[in-house]
């Protein structure tokens, strides 16, 4: 598994902002920081990727501090349909590939 | 535009039986991948094909073989299934094999080996 640390689970209510932080101390200086989302009974879906500072798209924002040892995925105003597992990718043992960790299960309630 | 299509969606095998999982992509991607997903383990890479005509082992290749039939198709074969291979198998493709190249996944094959 990847050398990443993220919370196993998080709970939220509809309309709240959710921030999921991932630690990836060993990410290489030229690697992108990448997040995926997986709904039940589906394959993972790429949601956002960045190299530094902040990236925003129609789904989420990604905040990356200058040292790049962590990143925070921000989901604005979550809805029930955002209930999913969120993965940040991290380096494998050899540093030759970015691989999946165990992910964070986000549960959104009404 | 179907993306990544996997067949079958479900399969039950007896120990020792063989089968091939099929995967096809219509996005003209160069690279294709096979993952397995077990509870609490995230996704683990079995094999990948960086480009047509090449295949390489991933994290957990034992007990599997692959064939990159053409640019569109990448199959995974279990020669002698074991209960430890009960899992959900995902195929993915990406434009290239560079680190961080976004992966596009199929919806998986749920395999049970009894």
Quick: pLDDT tens for B76-85.
Answer: 999 999 999 9
Q: Do B100 and A32 touch (CB under 8 A)?
A: yes
> ∠ CA B73-B110-A92 to the nearest 5 degrees?
70
Residues in B touching A49 (Cβ below 8 Å)? 100, 102
Strand ranges of the sheet holding A61-64, from the earlier edge strand across to the other edge: A18-23, A70-75, A61-64, A53-56
What's the pLDDT score for residue B42?
Answer: 84
Residue B96 has pLDDT above 90, yes or no: no
Over range A6-18, report the average pLDDT.
96
CB proximity B44 to A under 8 Å: yes
Q: What is the mean pLDDT of chain B?
A: 94
CB proximity A69 to B under 8 Å: no
Specify the higher pLDDT residue, B99 or B64: B64
Size of interface A-B (CB pairs under 8 A): 55
Name which of B40, B42, B44 is nearest A87 (Cβ-Cβ).
B42
What's the pLDDT score for residue B63?
Answer: 97
Q: How far apart are CA A27 and CA A1, in angstroms?
A: 14
CB proximity A39 to B under 8 Å: no
Q: Who contacts B94 (Cβ-Cβ below 8 Å, separation ≥6)? A: B29, B30, B31, B32, B33, B101, B102, B103, B104
Q: How far apart are CA A98 and CA B33, in angstroms?
A: 13
Q: How far apart are CA A107 and CA B102, in angstroms?
A: 25
């Amino acid at each position: 598994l990847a050398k990443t640390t993220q919370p196993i689970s998080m709970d939220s209510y509809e309309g709240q902002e959710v921030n999921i932080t991932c630690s990836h101390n060993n990410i290489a200086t030229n690697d992108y920081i990448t997040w995926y989302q997986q709904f039940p009974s589906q394959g993972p879906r790429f949601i956002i990727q960045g190299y530094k500072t902040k990236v925003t798209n129609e789904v989420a924002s990604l905040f990356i501090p200058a040292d790049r040892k962590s990143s925070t995925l921000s989901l604005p105003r979550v809805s029930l349909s955002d209930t999913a597992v969120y993965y940040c990718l991290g380096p494998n043992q050899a540093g030759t590939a970015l691989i999946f960790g165990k992910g964070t299960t986000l549960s959104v309630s009404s | 535009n179907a993306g990544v299509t996997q067949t079958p969606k479900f399969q039950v095998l007896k120990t020792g039986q063989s089968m091939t999982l099929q995967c096809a992509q219509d996005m003209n991607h160069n690279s294709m991948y096979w993952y397995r997903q077990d509870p609490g383990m995230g996704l683990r890479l079995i094999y990948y094909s960086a480009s047509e005509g090449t295949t390489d082992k991933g994290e957990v290749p034992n007990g599997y073989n692959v064939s990159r039939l053409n640019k569109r198709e990448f199959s995974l074969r279990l020669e002698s299934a074991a209960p430890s291979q009960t899992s959900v198998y995902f195929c993915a493709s990406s434009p290239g094999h560079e680190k961080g190249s976004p992966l596009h996944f199929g919806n998986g094959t749920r395999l049970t080996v009894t």
